[in-house]
Structure 1
Amino acid sequence: MPLIAGAARFAPKKGLTLGLGAGALGAGGEGQGPTYDPDATALFARFATQPDATRKQLISDRFVAGKAKSFWSKLDALWVHAAHAPEAGRLNWLGDIYNCIPVNNPAFTTDRGYMGDGSTSYLNTGFNPFVETAAKYSRLSGTLGVRSNTNNSSGGSLAGFHDGGKGTTINPRDAGNSVTFRVNQASASFTAGNGTSVGMFCASRNGATDAVVARDGVVIQRTAIAAEAAVANGTFRLGAITNASMRACQFAMGWIGAGFTDQEITDFYNWFEPYRSAVGVV
């Protein structure tokens, strides 16, 4: 049973704690409020609908754990769509920038995330690497990731942007049962057979001729296809990559940043697992 599965389940029996870890009680113990990571506290202040203390501690613990890993400083944006409220599922955890904008009402499900309809609806991240000169994501060092909750096959991609000639995209399972991806490149790369589109998919580039795609923290394909001379000029999307390429897969989280190493891809997957398990994403 997930840790977070409805308010009625949050109240512990008298004399018990929820096992929320260090910081759940203030320095003085019982009677003082919880102590949260300062960046988590800043995120809570941006929530229009406040989560309960259990979820706040869960989020705070993810901030603390993330900051201890090298991937954290590479992130431009991190969205946890499997949230307690629709607006919370669109906010960039790292700051009040690149907050997702819903286009044509993608469906939100509490603790699961957002889902486009495969034809018109998606989330616009507001992140355009062509104009974001201070971004960590760049032509030769870029990462795009998404956690898909739905198993289906389609020619439509789930995340990224494509300008008709080049782009950065992830299709977790195409009609031929392969993962297709590109990172600042024209031609897509294909994996061997992939029987499910459920999981965390990460496409990352580290250099002119080194790009990979991973599923659930494990690299499944590496390509030497060269990066294009410039990044595509357009905002990254979740649930689509263009108005003609969309995907009806529910997604629980997504991120953009500088290129991840293979180890950082694994570390990021392991970082999200406690949250995924707690809210019940499968």
Structure 2
Amino acid sequence: MKRLTTFIRQLIFLLLLIPTLLAGQKVLIAYDANTPLNVTESCEFWFDGYDANSFTLDGTSVDQWDDKSGNDRHVLNGNDNATRPTYNSATGRVTFINANSTFLQSAAFGSALSQPNTIFVVYKITGGLADNEGVFDAVTSIAQLFYFHATVFKIHAGAQLVGPATNTNDNIHVGEFNGLTSNYWINGDLVDAGAIGASALDGITLGARGGLTTYADCEIMEVIGYNAVLTDADRDKITGYLSNKWNITATTDYKGSVLTFEGKVLTYTPSVFGAEYQAVYDAYTTKPDAATAAIWNTCVETWVANGEWATKDIIYVYAAHTNGAGEALINWKTPGTFDATAFNAPTFTADEGFLGNGTTQYINTGGWIPSVNGVNYLQDDASQIIYIRTDISGNTLHGIHHSGNPSVSIIPRLVGDAYISINDNADLSSDVNANGSGMFINTRTASNVKKLYRNKVAIINAVTASTSVPILSPYCLAGNNNNVADLFRVDQVSMYAWGAGMTQTHVNNFTDPFETAMDALGTGIIAMTELDILMKLQYMAFQLRIQNEKVPVYINP
């Protein structure tokens, strides 16, 4: 099922919302999906580094960065590329270089924005911490300035408020320019308060002071401005939004994943990832969008709650949001240990996984060997799990194909049958199977009990005796034959895992959360009725609230 109907999406949202309300937690309609800033006051300007469509580029040089507030206060640089900052679409950062006098600047406003103004600037210093450099300002004069000078952060509008010592971290700076009662926050913490002057904001300059003096070495990620003093709650909402988006630790009640639903983004509090998925998220070079991250967090924490997470040694979710820096090859159980390597460039598709060519392409398991590294995987207590999105017939396999030695392998479909071996000497057991796609779980729960489940139904029941645990590392999209890849598959694989043996209950408990996540992404392939999905989501929502209250549950319609 690629996409759920609008009606079903609405019901899903309500089902997920009910346990939240019952738990007594706040639900905040905080942001519109495309302009996530419509709190009490209207937004005057907004520059969003994560929105690549808001940039006009010459190569990587920024000609113009569009204002997304709807007020058309775009910042641009009509000079040649030498004085233009550069943009990295993978990181969302606009890089300014002091030595090149780089800047972006708007036209002067038709009417200057008199105080009070509340301005958010997310930036990182990339040069000297003791320099005197301007990051954000007005156009014609030093009016409402964010800068750093003499090793401290500052804001200025005729007088200055002084923050803590400069650093090279990503930071959320918030200036409330309000005459005698102005405030300066960094990452949600109030760092100074008092009189700041009365200058109005007559335009926007990024990467320099107004009048194009005192340029900066910095990266700017996001800028948001309001012609108002925001309430504490509204300021905190935006701080939380920026904290979550840019992965910055901040003092805020609203940091957390967000959910897009019918043009709204909803934030639940408390909104945190479980420790298990947080480790995966932290290992990503390019982070998934908040809704996708929330979907996978829900999957993982459901596995934690029902016990399936603890029984696995390695889990690879190839159906990641990107593989630009190997994100789809991370071992979710212990990121950084036994991360996989893809050989000969199998085709990666976001939210779907890797497709092999059937001749040379395969993926290893990062050197994980059952006989050496298996903790849960044992001779008579073992499983091999794979989620396949394609239905291909072939005398080829996934796993370990070690002639005359203990092997573990799945042939999902060869004409009308499936075949498995698990901790036996390549003694293939088979039975009827007309479809090579789905969640396949090859498992051994006793010395003479092995089964193959497809989509939670046992399709092979065999009594082949085990011999020992394999001494080779498993492959995906091919078999490992004494450390040589062979018998290559033309499958698209979304997930691969190895661990302890699995009964029917274990099979159900592992399959359902993963399929629910894939369905939420629009890439699931197990036939489920809409009622099935609704009931599973409702069950997951209630169980996670009861068993692990820290976990929010989200769906991405």
**Which position in structure 2 is the counterpart of 1:279?**
521
- Aligned residue in 1 for 2:445: 206
May I ask how many residue pairs the two structures share in their alignment? 262
Q: CA deviation at 1:28?
A: 6.6
Structure 1: 5+ residue runs without aligned partners? 5-16
2:372 aligned residue (109, 120, 131): 131
* Structural mapping, 1:71-220, within 5 Å: 71-86=308-323, 87-96=326-335, 97-126=337-366, 127-132=368-373, 135-157=375-397, 159-165=398-404, 166-174=406-414, 176-186=415-425, 187-192=427-432, 194-220=433-459
Report the alpha carbon displacement of residue 130 of structure 1 after superposing the two structures with TM: 2.0
SS for the counterpart of 1:144 is: strand
User: Does the aligned pair in 1 maintain the 2:389–2:437 contact within 8 Å?
Assistant: yes
Please say if 1:224 is aligned against 2:463.
yes
Q: How far 1:40 sits from its partner (Å)?
A: 1.4
Structure 1 counterpart of 2:255: 33
Deviation larger for 47-56 or 91-100: 91-100
Displacement after TM superposition at 1:233 (Å): 1.5
1:91/1:100 contact within 8 Å kept: yes
Contact 1:217 1:268 in 2 (8 A): no
Deviation at 1:19, TM superposition (A): 8.2
With normalisation by structure 1, the TM-score equals: 0.87
Aligned residue for 1:51? Answer: 288
Name the Cα RMSD after superposition.
Answer: 2.1
- Name the structure, 1 or 2, with higher relative contact order (CA <8 Å, separation 6+): 1
Q: SS in structure 1 opposite 2:471?
A: coil
TM-score with structure 2 length normalisation?
0.45
How far, CA to CA, are the matches of 2:344 and 2:287 in structure 1? 25
CA distance in 1, matches of 2:401, 2:509: 28
User: Residues 56 and 2 (structure 1 numbering): CA distance in 2 closer, same or farther, change over 3 Å?
Assistant: farther
Q: Deviations over 1:3-40 (max 9, x none)?
A: 79xxxxxxxxxxxx8987678xxx77642111221221
Kept in 2: contact 1:162–1:232 (CA 8 A): no
Q: Distance in 2 between matches of 1:265 and 1:238?
A: 20
- 3-state SS of the aligned residue for 2:302? helix
Q: State the 1:226 CA deviation.
A: 0.3
CA distance in 2, matches of 1:72, 1:39: 9
Task: Report if the CA contact (8 A) 2:300-2:309 is conserved.
Answer: no
CA distance in 1, matches of 2:332, 2:365: 13
The question of whether the paired residues in 2 share the 8 Å contact of 1:108 and 1:114 is answered with yes
Whether the aligned pair in 2 keeps the contact of 1:217 and 1:267 (CA below 8 Å) is: no
* 1:68 alignment partner, SS class: helix
1:260 is aligned to 2:498 = no
- Cα distance in 2 for partners of 1:275, 1:64 equals 12
Inter-partner Cα distance in structure 2 for 1:248 and 1:92: 23
Q: List structure 1 runs of 4+ shifted beyond 2 angstroms.
A: 1-4, 17-23, 27-30
Q: What SS does structure 2 have at the residue aligned with 1:130?
A: helix
Counterpart for residue 236 of structure 1: 474
Structure having the higher Rg: 2
**How many angstroms does 1:80 deviate by?**
1.2
The change in CA–CA distance for 1:143 and 1:206 in structure 2 (over 3 A counts) is same
